[in-house]
């Protein structure tokens, strides 16, 4: 087996590098004046042919190496795939065996639990059938005193109670009738109390309505009185204006009164009263 494993990328990279080296060597020979000759150089041609053949052989060898490496790589991948498939198959077998074992254990536990529950149910049924509760043993109804170890009349066991006696039933019926009568009395008292409360509330509402109507009437009367007072004041004011204008002030000031002032070159403040002062004095006199 080969020691070297070449991937497709590595193989392509090597082939590209080989071509680049060959191209670089060809350019070096072509551009080198010492090595380039005029005409046909048979030795150079032979050398190129030999070099080309050697390059082809190297490429063939590299391709063989690459193919061998790829084949080896593919074989290893195939072996690894077979190994992984075998491991996965073994794991599936192991898991299936484990699940089967767990399922068997679960089934065994369920069978055991079901058998145990059936035994318990059977025992419970037998105990119920033969118990004092179903057989109605009278002795099992009364409690036993711890001190005397005797049955106490009237002291019943709740879980073994077999029913009331006729006198006990009659006493219960009497108590129920008394409770019903008390409930009826309370209902009637509540109804009477509610009726009284409704009557009081209605009376209060009627009283409030009367007071409200009275307040409205008083407000209306006050408004009418206020309007009457306003009319009376207006009449009094009108009468006073008429008295002042037609009785008191009978000689009103005419424009000719003011024409007598301002006709002299003398200024106000020389001891002569001003027209406004004279007017005030005249009005005061009137």
User: CA-to-CA distance for 223 and 207, rounded, in angstroms?
Assistant: 24
pLDDT at 266: 56
Contact (CB, 8 A) for 159 and 174: no
- 113: tokens are 């639990």
pLDDT at 79: 87
| Claim: this prediction has a pTM higher than 0.75 | no
pLDDT at 55: 79
Q: Which residues are CB-contacts of 220 (< 8 A; sequence separation ≥ 6)?
A: none
Report which secondary-structure segment, H or E, holds 270: none
Contact (CB, 8 A) for 116 and 124: no
pLDDT at 60: 84
Report the chain (286 residues): mean pLDDT per 10 consecutive residues: 60 80 74 55 71 81 82 84 87 89 90 91 83 66 63 64 76 92 93 92 90 90 90 88 74 70 59 49 46
Per DSSP, the three-state class of 110 is: helix
For the chain, helix, strand, coil in percent to 5 are 75, 5, 20
User: CA-to-CA distance for 71 and 77, rounded, in angstroms?
Assistant: 10
Residue 32 exposure: Cα atoms within 13 Å on the Cβ side: 8
pLDDT at 183: 94
- Bridge partners of 151, per DSSP, are 144
User: CA-to-CA distance for 222 and 230, rounded, in angstroms?
Assistant: 12
- 283: tokens are 């009005």
């Amino acid at each position: 087996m080969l020691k070297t494993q070449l991937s497709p990328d590595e193989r392509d990279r090597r082939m590209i590098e080989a071509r680049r080296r060959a191209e670089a060597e060809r350019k070096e020979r072509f551009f080198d004046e010492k090595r380039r000759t005029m005409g046909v150089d048979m030795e150079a041609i032979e050398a190129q042919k030999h070099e080309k053949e050697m390059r082809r052989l190297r490429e063939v060898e590299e391709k063989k190496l690459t193919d061998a490496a790829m084949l080896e790589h593919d074989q290893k991948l195939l072996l690894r795939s077979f190994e992984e498939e075998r491991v996965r198959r073994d794991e599936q077998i192991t898991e299936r065996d484990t699940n089967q074992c767990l399922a068997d254990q679960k089934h065994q536990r369920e069978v055991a639990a079901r058998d145990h529950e059936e035994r318990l149910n059977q025992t419970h049924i037998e105990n119920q059938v033969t118990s004092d509760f179903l057989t109605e043993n009278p002795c099992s109804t009364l409690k036993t005193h711890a001190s005397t170890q005797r049955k106490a009349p009237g002291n019943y066991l709740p879980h073994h109670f077999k029913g009331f006696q006729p006198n006990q039933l009659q006493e219960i019926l009497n108590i129920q009738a008394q409770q019903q009568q008390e409930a009826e009395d309370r209902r009637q008292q509540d109804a009477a109390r509610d009726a009284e409360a409704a009557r009081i509330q209605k009376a209060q509402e009627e009283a409030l309505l009367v007071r409200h109507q009275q307040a409205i009437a008083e407000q209306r009367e006050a408004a009418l009185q206020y309007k009457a007072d306003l009319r009376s004041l207006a009449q009094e004011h009108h009468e006073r204006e008429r008295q002042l204008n037609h009785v008191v002030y009978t000689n009103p000031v005419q424009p000719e009164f003011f024409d007598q002032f301002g006709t002299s070159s003398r200024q106000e403040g020389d001891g002569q009263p001003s027209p406004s002062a004279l007017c005030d004095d005249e009005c005061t006199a009137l």
